[in-house]
Each structure stands twice: as structure tokens, then as C-alpha cells.
Amino acid sequence: MDSNPAKRRKLDHAQDDAEVALAAAASAGISRSTTFVLEAEELLEYVCPDYDAAFSGADGLLHRIKGLVEGIEAHDQLQIAEAAAKLEKKHKIKVPFPEPRPDGSSNYKVAFAAPSKFNVVGSYVFKTMVKTQKNPAVDMVVVIPESVLQEKDYLDMRYFYKRAYYLAVIAAALKKELGAQGQLSYEYLHGNPLCPVLVFQPKGPAAGTTEPEPPRSQDFRIRILPSAPEGFFPAAKLHLGASLIRKARDGEAPSEPTPFYNSTVAAESTFFPYLKVLRQAEKKSKGFRKACVLGRIWLQQRGFGSDVAQGGFGQFEWALVLALLLQGGDKKGQAALSASLSSTQLFKAMIQFLSVTNFSEKAYVFGSAKADLDAHVESGPVLYDAARQLNIAFKMGSWSAALLHQHARWTRSLLAENAGDQFTPTFILKADVPAHSFDFIAHLDPKKAADQAGLDPRGPAWRLGSRVYRILKRALADNDMGERARVIHVKASACAPWALADGPARETAPLEIGVVFDPLRMARTVDRGPVAGPSAEQQQECARFRKFWGEKAELRRFEGDDARETLVWSSTTPFALCEEIVRYILGRHLKVDKELAVYGGRLPALLSLKPADTAVFNVAKKAFDVFERDVRGLDDLPLRVRQIAPVCAELRHASVSLPELDPSKSWRRPLECVISFEASGKWPESLIAIQRTKIAFLIMIGSLLEKSKPGDVRTHVGLEDSAYDDENLAFLDVLYENGPAFRLRVHSDLEESLLQRQSKNKMSEPWKRQRAATLLASFRRLYVHLPLHNQYMTTCATRFPALSPTLRLVKHWFNAHKLACHFTPEFMELAVLRVFLAPHPWEAPTSPATGFTRVLAFLAHWDWRSDALILDTSGEMTAADRSAIATRLDAWRKIDPHMNHTVLFVATAQEPSGTAWTTLDGQPKPPKVAAARMTSLAKTASRLIKDKGVGLDVRTLFVPSLKEYDVLLHLNKKVLKAALATYPGEPAEAYAASDADAPQHAKFKNLSAHAGEPPLPLAQHPADALLKRLDAVYSHGGPLLFFRGGSPDDATIGAVWNPRMPARTFRVSLPTAYKPASAAAVEAGRKRRAEKKEEESGDEGENRGGEEEEKEEDMVEVDREAILAEIARIGGDVIERIEVKDSS
Amino acid sequence: MSIPATIGDFSVLPVSIPPLPSFPRKVVHHLYVRRSTPKIPTETDARSLFVTNVPVDSTEAHLRSLVTSLVGSGRFESATFEDERKDANNPSPVAAAQPASAAILLRVHGRKRKREEEEEERDKETLARIPSAWTRPLRRSGGTAVVLLADEKSVEQVLKAIAKAHKTRKYPTWGLAGGSAGGKAPPVPPLGSAWLRAHNRLSYPDRAALQASVDAFSALFADREREAAEIAKRLRNEPDEDGFVTVTRGARAAPASQSEAEEARRKMLEKERKRKEELANFYRFQLRERRKEEQAELLKRFADDRKKLDAMRSKKGKFVPET
């Protein structure tokens, strides 16, 4: 009994509309990752072409062709050679016989009769085409009537000869009738040389106009595919193991199985059965069609297609596999997938299927097959449709199946993640650029292919490719020795269509070999082969090993191990090792040497990156540990040391140049660290007093260190270049006589809470609060975030072996393009880390080359105006965290739409505020101009990488373009070098204009006042100091923005004028030097103001004056010449030359 | 194009800049000069000139040489730059270091010092300053300065000389020409590499001097603090002439530090949170509300996704597969 039914009912009712809406959402397939679903829907909407517009006239044309073909006169059996000669003579058409062509003596007979059936098949009828597809084709199947064929035609290519003749007859007829309205050519169906087809390309939409237009990529083509009647050839004879090409040229009878030939014959009569399968699937499942479109895009972005050269797995194969899975594919006869799944769910299921079934290693069968198919996997991947007895994957090579498997696994891992952008890597990004995908790329000259004998009808290049793959797989991906390579890929070029009167073009493009490393194992220099034991089995194993590796194999005994067959390689870097092995093994087995061209290894050489660099970084870390111990060992410090943390790039494997450990160098960049003490109540409650106390601490640490290690350590307390007393005032430089130099700053926790309080103090003036907030940000950056960042990057550098060299390359790129002065090193590091932590659509880069190119691609692609760079550094960032970060960015953009304070937004799990690495002292770092320049440079570089392919000379990516700068300041390197050394003994006032002017210094070194005295360290490099001063005077909304790389050797400073400082009315306080305006400037200024009024956008930089009445004679303009003259005076002898671009 | 003689109520003073090897062009820099009329008048206004758009490398010596070349030597007294005037507002780091409340107490209730005491104090404060790391500052680009001349007549003469310069087109030259500085004034430190080197040298001050400066600061700071504490203590029980007792910080034996207060507050919040947590999911209505919240959250996420999608749609190329 329900005691209170009324109440209960009410409660039930309270589970209200929300639940209903949710249930609806769930049933619509929007249950979990809604964004992905919505985005996919949107994508589908965008990519589906308007069939009526794009294929206008296609149906009419098809009917016309059908009529024409039906009207061809039938003729009786003719001798094949005779018939071919007749066609060539009469119509100037060559019969596209497959190789080997029938010779004149063969007595095959050919005939022609009207086709028994016509049908349009393929993605046109299923409406699964996409806009981005090149040359969409409408496929019309023409079934050769049984009267023309014989059952035994499946043997010895006879069917294909007849088919070729049949096609040529149709071509002849169409040429006569349609030749004027379009272009007819032959082409291989899916690159299969057994199956030529006829292609008709209509001449543009407005046929009959006089202007001959080149065919656009969107213009459709019609392909005519002759096919065998359904069930005509006995399926039992066409099994994968059969040997159907028995007539070998040289007389002997090879009994080698011909799986590709067999499958092609079988596939010839399956157009209609498969059309039925697809129709059924489409009817049964609503999401099927869209899932096929998604599949097409996914495959296309990864370079897959039905063509043999594109891997042999395209939209058709995708649709077929999906249909078979829906139909009841598995062994028990039950459907693997439910028909009620939505399109994205089907897509995901398909990805899942492809990622778990590796059909290049184990045959996969839909339905139940009698025969054991696993034996055939050796010759190629097997994906067997038992009902129609066809290997669907017959066009694939083992490598393309492996790559497809790999891509499916990567996409699956992306889709399994519950956060981040899943959509863009899955469908939008192009993942088939070799430079992005492969660590090692080689080209093999196809001329080598000529001597590859074999029966495979796919041609000599294919045969060469498959041999190369087998050899490399054994050499690089040997399981027992530890796989060096994760992916080995071989790609042959596709065959282009050819004219009716010609034969197919010979392949000339090189064979492309790509390898993805396992970075740790690829660096191995000694391979341990099988144990050389006494047993017969072991001996056999060793013999095989020796046979494969040749004289490179030698017997070695290892410590605590048996004697083993061993390979010893001489190279050191992973790339060079790979090249050495590939060259050796291909040279041994295929006698290739000069025909092999290797690409991709040039990038690390630019910086002369070596594997031994890691050791140098580690030495620096060790030196730091010594330093830490020395400081901790000081007994007389009033507070106990809690932590000394490194905060510089050198101590996180991320600096362009190696840490300087050699004390003899004139200038050592000190390794920066921060020291924090245990909590104490003794710090004074005043920022200024805290800063003084810090100085006292530094002085004390310095003298204690000198005392504890006399002669070993020199210390100097240096002053920061700070303007106010409440900023950090000083640092301590500790110079080891036989090691690196360190720079120490003191952390006081009270400082943080004081700043926090000030920044929140509602009672104080806004500028004070603002200032406190800025100081607080700097404080957190230096003492909180940087130590964490250092720690995290160090961990990552061990986790990803390719990270450190990539970091250095990317920083070098920023340096080369004079961007480095605008970006914090931490930002650059995080941008690099992005392609390692969120590497989709690949996995984390495994070499500096792929890392670098992908970073460029990412920078080119990143729309920083609206997207934050979010890095899941903790591994457990939730979607809520991400959306909170995105909201924060939105908020910033709302308060600051012109991006005067925040431009880039980079958030990590440890630092979710997003601005720690992209603002410095309240200024955006980089400013918008620099960020835009970064993007455009990255875009240009990415385009070059994509367009030029592997042949690109990577050095060109690092050549700065100076012509964009309005002004160039050329620094005098000699003077800068002379300015490096200062001595504690000299008074500061004694420095003359330049040491170069005072030759007596140079002449008698020993006579100078400071002989033997060690020089002072450098607080900052003079060029940096100069740039900082110039920046302070002219940048930050001022007239000039300077660009310079971060390396001390960069002796050219670029600068651009601020275009947003037009002529203006004179005021007492001007933002920079102005002169009375010329008439032209007044005019330009007025125009600009008028534009601005139209835009109605309030810009801070110029609106300071407000709207004042315009009096012509009171107009002033920026006095560029005066400013340049000022810079010349400031720089003095340091600036050698100021180069001004003509402003015309 | 001719240079206008005046702009607004300013006279334009063109100064020709001698070419340098790195920038071999003859350049004219325009200074704008008028009588000084600050918002808060001072007694020297009548014999002062207000100059704006001074070059960034200006020093007093530069302006002296400029005035000398216009009206001859002996007229120039001193020049004050914009940033120096700002400095005048916060006189010493020690004073700035005091908490605001203490500063007020000291100002209002601190005992009057004798002159010599005051001078002594000022010396100490000067010592407590951290030495500058630059031999010569750079001015703000387009900044201002006030030039103090010998008398009112000189002001008139300078303005006349400027007008004359326009007529004769003989502009004064920027620099330290003529040695008219009188030889007594210290030479102006050069810019360029010497300046940068001197900066590095000055960045590493003598350790003893630095220590002395820090010590002086600490001593002064402690003195002031103590003094402020004493005043506060005195005021605590002492009604002023109107009978009010000033409320001051530090009534307890040991003054409460703010960090302690924050700690206490944090503890209290923690307690509160714990108490609430224990009672979560206790009542049925709580469960119901939670579920409702979750649903609302889901719906909101859905709406958010939609919005995001709309935003993406409005941008081109987000849904175009790359080719």
C-alpha cells in the first residue's frame, strides 16, 4: 500500500522535462561526446556536394552512352591480333591489353555483342561523394554478355584480353559520337593494370562554347567499367591459392599461386552482388550512408584510396566492410553492429574494427570460410568475404594494411580520450605529408625495378616495393632483436590516364620508403641476434641470420650471456643508423646503392645536434646538484634552506646552445636558480624591506660560499635592471672555477601574500592594485611556475627522446626569424610540447625532424584569436577544466578585444590562468604583431614543406626575411665583443667611447690595469641590454617594434613602425617625438580618423587625446628621422649602420 | 617645407642634429617651448621655460648648451626632467617601505625633528638607496622638461632668439659643443658601448658598499617601525583634545600579523566545509537537488556545445578538410 500516493506521483512528475530531453538526446546518439557528434554533422552538411549542380547533365549523358553502346554492331569471333590491328587501323585506337600482351601467334578469338546489362554503381548512386574529392567519377558498369566469353577464360589472362578488346570497341564507338563533346582516355581501374577502363571527361558545363576550359577538379567524369556476368566463372577455381597464370614465357611451368590475379577475376563479377549488399545496408541502417562519407574523409585525409598506389583501401572497401559488419559478419552469423547506431557511432565502430583486426598478420573472414586462409597472409592482407568468396583487401599491400591499422589505432586512442578536440585531428588535418609522418624518408629509383621478375600483374614497381618492404621489415622490425621501426611504409606512384591511341606511360616516379622510429631502439648500435648454440635448431637459426645479414653478422660473446650472432653499426644518431642499415641491407639484397636517395636527416645537422648532447645537459644538472649541496652545506645561514630549484632552459634540456661548462670562456651564461627558505615570521611586512633583506641574504650566501670553498668559487651580487624598490633588486652570481656559473635569486613567501593583499585591496588606487597584480604575476612566474615547469619539462625530456632536440630546433627557428625576443622560452617549449602531448592524428613525434615539422604545422594551424593552447600536463584534465580555460579566454577577449594586454593564451594543468607565459610585466609577450608574424611564417614554412615535399632544402626554412622590416639596426660585433669584459677594479666613469679607439689596451695586454684579475660576470649581454633599453623607450604602444633573435650572435635588429600612429593634433604630452606635420600626413591622418569613426572602435593607443577640434596648423606627425637619430645616439659605436627602407 | 614658428601656444625650436656614421643624415629635432605655467604655481615659474618633446638622450648639460647657443652663457640655471619630478613625490625608499598606517601615524603624531637631525636622517636615507646601475638615464620619448633660467628677462630673450632662429634658419646644434658648461660640471657620460659596459660594471657594486646600504636601510626601517609602534602605544590610551581615542593596530601584547589572521580564517572555513560535507546526501531533497543539478549541467553542456559549434561555423575553414 502506498501511504502517500499523491506525493509520490508528484515526485515522479518532478523528474521532469530535463530527463526527457536527455533521453531524446541519448537516443539521437548525442549521449557522450556531443561536440564531436555535432561537429561531424556539420562537416557532413558542408562536404556533401550539391549533386544536381555538380552533376548536371550526367544522367542524360549516361543514357546517351547506353544508347550508343547498345547500338554498336555485334560481330563474330575474330583472331585477337587481327581484330586489334583492325581497330587500330580504322579508328586509331589501341587495345589496352594488359602485360604481357598477347603475341601475334596466339589463337584467342574475340567477339563483340551488346552488353547484357548496364548499371550505374559507386559513390554517385549512393551519394557518398565529398566536395574535396578530386575528379569525382560516375561509374557505369557494362556487363559483357556470356556469348562473348567462355568459362575457361579465367585462365591465363584470356578474360582480360577479351575485356580489353571489348572496351576498345566501345571506345571506338564513343569516340566517333562523343569525341567532340569531351575527352576520352583509358585509365586503370583502381590502378589495377589488369582492368583498364574508359574515361569520358565532358568539356565543361556549357558544352558548345568556343572557349576550351581546362577541366576543373570539381568537374565530373564518367567511367565505363566492363565486367563479367555474375557467377560466370566458377568461384571454387578462383581461390587464393590457385595458380591461374600457367603459361610462363620461358616454357617451364611455375605453380606459384597468383592471388592478385585470382581476386581480380573474382572481383570482376561482384559489382552487382556488392551493389545489393550496400543497398541493403543503406536501407537497414539510417546512419550507414553518412558513416561512409565520414569514412571517406577519414581515409582521404590519411592518403588512403581504392587505388593500388593509395593503399588499396578506399571508400568502397570501407563501405563494404561496414555493410558486412552490419549484415552479420561474425562467426556465429550474428551482426557485429546494430543497425540503429548513428553515423558517428558507426564510424567509431569501424575505427575500432580496423584498430583491433590486423588483417596483414592474420586473415579476417566475414562469415565462415572452409579453407584456412592464414597461409595466404604472407603474400598480402586478407579480408575475406566468404559469401562472395572474395578477398576485399586484395589491392592492399602488407604495408598499407599495417599503416591503416596504425592510423586506426591512433584515431581510436584520440576518440577514447574524453577531452580535447577530437574532431579536427580526425577529419580536418591532412595526415599524409611524408615529412610530417616519417622520420626517415628514402627514394628508390624505379629503374632498379626493371629486373624484378615475377608474376604479380601489378607491375615491376610493385614487385620491387614488396621486396623492399619484406627486407626492411625483417631488418628493422625484427621482434627478437627489438623492433627499431614502428611503421615501415612503401609507396609507389599512381599511373596516370592515357590517350586512346597510346599505351600506358612507364612509371618514372621513385618508390618512396618511409620509416617511423622507435626512438630508443633505433639508437641502438649493437644488435644481438640468435644464440650460437650447439643444437640443430639454434644452428639453423644462425644460418638464416647469416644468410640475411651477410658479412655484417659476427659472433660475439656478451657478459653473462651466450655467444650470439651480432651486428655492430658505426653511426650514432637514430637517423644515421637507420640510413646505414637500410643502405646496407638493400645493397646486399637488391644491389642498390646510388639509386637510393635519403631525406629528412638534414634538420638536426643545422644545429649539429648530437645524441651526446643529452650527456652535456646531464653534466650541467650534476653541476647544479653540487651547487645545491654546497649551499645546503652552509652552516651559518639564519634560515634553513628548503629548496633550490633550477629555472632556466639549460637545466631542462631545452636551450638552443648547450650549457656552458667551460670556465675559460669569456662569457658564460649563468644557470638561473631560485632558493627558498623554510617559513619564517622574521621577514619584514613590507615589500621594499623584503627586497633589501633578500640582498642581505645574497651577500651572506656569497661570502659564506667563498669562505667554505676558497679559491674554488667566486661570487658577485648583481643588481637587477629594475626601476622600483619593491621589485626584486638583486641576484647572486656564483662562478665555479672549474664548472658552470649559477645565478641565484631568493624567494620569500611573505612577498606573495603581501602582493596578493595589495592587489585585492579595494581601498587603494586602481593603478596601485594593477601594479601589485603585475608584480604578483612576475613573482609567481619566477618562484612558483618556473620551478614546476622546469621539473615537468625534465620529466618529459626523458619520456620523449625526441623532445629535447625538437625544442632546440624550434627555438632556433624562432631565433632565426628574429621572433625570439617577443616570446618567452617557456611558451615555445609548451608549443612544442603540444605536438607531443596531443599528437593526433599521429602519435608523439619520434625524431626531431617530424617534431619540428609538426610544430610548424601546429603553429600555422593555431587560431590563437579564439583558441587557447591547452596542455594536459597532469594527464587528468577534465572537459570542465578545459571549458573553464576557454571561458577565461573568452572573458579576456571581451575585456580586451584589441589584444593590448593578452594575445596568446597558454594554459596547463599546473598553470590554468593561461597568461603566465604570455605576458611579462603587464605587457603581452608576444604583442599581436609578433604573434601574427609567427603564424604567417609558420604557414609559409608549412606550405613549403607540403609543396616541395622531401626535396626541400630545410636550410631555407631558417633564412630570415629582412625585407619586411622598415628599419634595420646593424650592430657592430667587434664593439659588442669588446664590451663584454668589465673588471671590478675599474671605476664605471672610466669607460671611453670604445676600446677600439684606445689601441694601447690591445697592444699591451699585460700592462692594462686589471692584468690577472678575473673579469666580472655579465648581468646581461650588452646587445640584450641595449634592446631592452630601446624597447622601454619606444615599444609598448610606441612608434617602433623591435625584432631580434635570442642568440648573442644575432647582430641585426629589425624594427617596424607602428602604423597606428597617424598625424594628430598637438598636445602637451605626446607619446613620442613628433614634428609639425606635412600636408600629406595631415591628409592621411584625417582619412584614418574618418575610417576609425566608421569602425566606431575605441582604440586605447590613440584615443588618449580624445576628440579635439582639428586645427590644421596644429597637426603633428611622428618624427621618424629624429627617432632614428636618437637611436643612433643611444647605440653610439655599438650600432654600425641604420638601414632605412624607402617609405615610398 | 618651412617649419612653423609656433604651434598652439608653443614656440617651435628646431635643433639640428649632427649626422653620425651609423645614420649619416642631417636631421632636425623639434622642441616645443613656452613659459612654464603649471597647475600648481611655484615661485620660480616666472623664470622657467616648459619644454616638451625633448630628445631621449637629454641631460641638463645638453639643455644648458642649447640655451647658451641661443642667448649666451650665464642664463641657464638648471633643468628638471619629467621623470625626476615624479621621483620627488616619493622621497625615500624607507618612507615608502612603511605600512600606510604607520606612515600616517608618523606624519601626524611624530615628534618634530630639529634641522640637523633632519639632515642626518637625509644622509642616512641617501645611503640606504640602492645605487643606480646606469651612468645616464634615457628620457621618455617625447617627454617634457622645465628649464630654470637666471631671470625673467632671460625667458623673454630665449623666446625671441627662437623666433629669430626661424628667420635666419640658423638652428642651434644638439650636443655638448663649446665647453660652455664651465669646466666645473662633471662630464656627461657617453652612450654606446661605454655606457653598456659601465652598466655592467655598476650592476656589480662593491659588496661592502652594498652591505652598508642594506644595513643603513634596515636600521632606519627598524627605527621608524619602533617609533611608529611607540606612537601607536601612546595613542592607545590617550584621548585627543576632542576626547576621542584613536583606534590603532596592535592592541594585543604581540601585534597580530595578517598571515596569522588568514590562517585562522582558513581553519574556520575548513571546519565549516567539513560540517557541511557530513550532512551532504543526508536528506532526500539533497539527492533530488543534486540530480536536478546534474541534469541542468548536462543540458547546459549541450547548449554550450551548440554555441561553440555556431562560433566555429561563423569562421571559415573550420569544417573544410585540408587538402
* pLDDT digits 0-9 by tens, A977-1035: 888 878 877 776 667 654 444 444 444 444 455 556 778 888 888 888 999 889 888 88
H-only helix segments in A659-712: 687-708
pLDDT tens profile A731-740 = 999 988 888 8
Flag whether pLDDT at A8 surpasses 60. Answer: no
Query: From CA A823, how far away is CA B250, in angstroms rounded?
Result: 47
pLDDT at position A594 is: 80
**SS3 of A367, please?**
coil
Question: Can you tell me the distance from the alpha carbon of A1019 to that of A720, in angstroms, rounded to the nearest whole number?
Answer: 8
Asked if B7's CB is within 8 angstroms of A1114's CB, the reply is: yes
Sign for the CA dihedral angle at B177, B182, B185, B187 comes to positive
DSSP conformation letters of A840-865? TTS-S--SHHHHHHHHHHHHHH--TT
Residues A599-617: pLDDT tens digits?
A: 877 787 777 777 788 889 9
Mean pLDDT (whole number) for A876-889:
85
Please name the residue that has the C-alpha cell 557485429: A336
Cβ separation of B194 and A693 shorter than 8 Å?
A: no
Q: Which three cell numbers stand for residue B56?
A: 631621449
C-beta separation of B320 from A42 below 8 A? no
Give every CB contact of residue A332 below 8 A, 6+ residues apart in sequence: none
- A130, A692, A757, A1121: which to substitute to probe chain B, counting the most B Cβ within 10 Å? A692
Q: Does A138 touch chain B (CB under 8 A)?
A: no
Distances (CA, A) of A302 to A106, A217, A297, B138, B323: 45, 19, 9, 58, 11
C-alpha cell at A1136: 654600425
pLDDT of residue A382: 87
pLDDT digits (tens, 9 = 90+) for A1057-1096: 888 887 888 888 788 888 887 777 677 767 766 666 655 4
Among A56-60, A691-695, A788-792, A890-894, the minimum mean pLDDT is found in A56-60
Residue A1130 has pLDDT above 50, yes or no: yes
Dist CA B251 CA A394 (whole Å): 91
CA distance to partner chain B, nearest, from residue A1032 (Å)? 9
- pLDDT category at A553 given cuts 50, 70, 90 is confident
pLDDT band of residue B249 (cuts 50, 70, 90) is low
Cβ contact B279:B268 at 8 Å: no
Contact B204 A688 (CB under 8 A): no
Residue A16: the pLDDT is 45
Residues in contact with A315: Cβ distance below 8 Å, sequence separation at least 6, in sequence order: A123, A128, A292, A295, A296, A299, A305, A306
Range from A989-1003, A1039-1053, A1101-1115, B94-108 that averages highest in pLDDT: A1039-1053
- pLDDT tens digits for range A77-117: 888 888 888 888 888 888 888 877 777 777 788 888 888 88
- Number of C-beta neighbours around residue A712 at 10 A: 14
Within 8 A of B56 by CB-CB distance, chain A residues are 1033, 1126, 1130
Provide the terminal-to-terminal Cα distance of chain A, rounded to the nearest Å: 95
Q: Is residue A248 scored above 70 in pLDDT?
A: no
Task: Give the number of other CB atoms < 10 A from CB of residue B273.
Answer: 10
Decide if pLDDT at A44 tops 50: yes
Residue where the block lists cell 652598508: B212
User: Which pLDDT value is given to residue B1?
Assistant: 53
* Among A residues 1048-1087, those touching chain B with beta carbons less than 8 Å apart: 1066, 1068-1076, 1078
Q: Which residues pair with A112 in a beta bridge?
A: A75
Peptide bond into A841 cis (omega under 30): yes
Strand order of the sheet with strand A511-517? A485-491, A511-517, A440-444, A596-599
Q: Does A32 touch chain B (CB under 8 A)?
A: no
In this predicted structure, what is the pLDDT of residue A702? 92
Identify the three-state secondary structure at position A44.
helix
What number of other Cβ atoms are within 10 A of residue A662's Cβ?
9
A1124 neighbourhood in chain B, CB within 8 Å = 23, 27
Express as a percent the part of chain A with pLDDT over 90. Answer: 20
Question: What is the structure's pLDDT at A90?
Answer: 84
Residues A578/A476, Cβ–Cβ less than 8 Å = yes
| In the predicted structure, residue A675 carries a pLDDT above the cut 90 | yes
Q: What ipTM is given for this predicted complex?
A: 0.83
pLDDT of amino acid A5: 45
CA distance A700 to B307: 59
H or E stretch covering B32: strand B27-35
Euclidean distance between CA atoms A491 and A508, whole angstroms? 13
Instruction: List the grid coordinates of A198.
Output: 574508359
Contact check, Cβ <8 Å, B207/A702: yes
Strands ordered across the beta sheet of B27-35: B6-7, B10-17, B27-35, B48-54, B143-149, B76-81
pLDDT tens readout for residues B195-222: 888 888 888 888 888 999 889 888 888 8
CA count, 13 A, side-chain hemisphere, A758: 24
Mean pLDDT across B159-168? 86
Question: How close does chain B come to A139, measured CA to CA in Å?
Answer: 24
Binding-face residues of A in 993-1052 toward B, CB within 8 A: 993-995, 1016-1020, 1022, 1025-1026, 1029, 1032-1034, 1038-1039
Q: Are A1073 and A1118 in contact (CB under 8 A)?
A: yes
Mean pLDDT of A922-941: 91
Using the beta-carbon criterion (under 8 Å), do B130 and A725 form an inter-chain contact? yes
pLDDT at residue A286 is higher than 70? yes
Using an 8 Å CB-CB cutoff, list chain B residues near A1029: 138
For residue A264, pLDDT over 50 is answered with yes
Helices marked H in A838-972: 848-861, 879-895, 928-948
- In this prediction, residue B177 has a pLDDT band, given cuts at 50, 70 and 90, of low
| Crossing angle between the packed helical segments B60-71 and B152-168, to the nearest 10 degrees | 70
* Cβ neighbours of B195 in A, within 8 Å: 991, 1132
CB count in 10 Å sphere of residue A751: 21
Q: Where are the alpha helices (DSSP H) in A1020-1099?
A: 1022-1034, 1079-1095
With H, G, I as helix, E, B as strand and everything else as coil, classify residue A717.
strand
pTM value?
0.88
As a whole number of angstroms, the distance between CA B267 and CA B288 comes to: 31
CB A657 within 8 A of CB A701: no
Q: Is the pLDDT of residue A577 over 70?
A: yes
pLDDT, averaged across chain A: 82
- Residue appearing with cell numbers 645616439: A1129
* DSSP conformational letter for B40: S
What is the pLDDT confidence band of residue A448, given thresholds at 50, 70 and 90? low
Chain B contact probe: residue of A1029, A1053, A1067, A1082 with most B CBs at under 10 A: A1029
Measured CA to CA, the distance from residue A719 to residue A619 in angstroms comes to 29
Instruction: Please state the separation of Cα A89 from the chain's center in Å.
Output: 54
pLDDT of A10: 43
* Nearest-10 crossing angle of helices A34-47, B284-314: 30
Gap between the Cα atoms of A119 and A136, Å rounded: 17
Examine the pLDDT at A522 and tell me if it is beyond 80: yes
CA-based torsion, A1064, A1068, A1071, A1077: positive or negative: positive
CA–CA dist B233, A1020 (Å, integer): 48
Angle at A643 between CA A642 and CA A649, to 5 degrees: 170
Question: Across-strand partners of A599?
Answer: A441
Closest CA to A617 of A807, A455, A762: A807
pLDDT value at A350 more than 80: yes
Could you tell me if A199 and A39 are in contact, meaning their C-beta atoms sit under 8 angstroms apart?
no
Share of chain A above pLDDT 70, in %: 88
Per-residue pLDDT for A1108 more than 70?
A: no
Most confident segment among A666-680, A853-867, B111-125: A853-867
Query: Do B22 and A1136 lie within an 8 Å CB cutoff?
Result: yes
User: Can you tell me which residue has the cell 576632542?
Assistant: B242
Residue recorded with cell 633564412: A959
Give the span between the Cα atoms of A118 and B26, in whole angstroms: 86
SS3 A567: strand
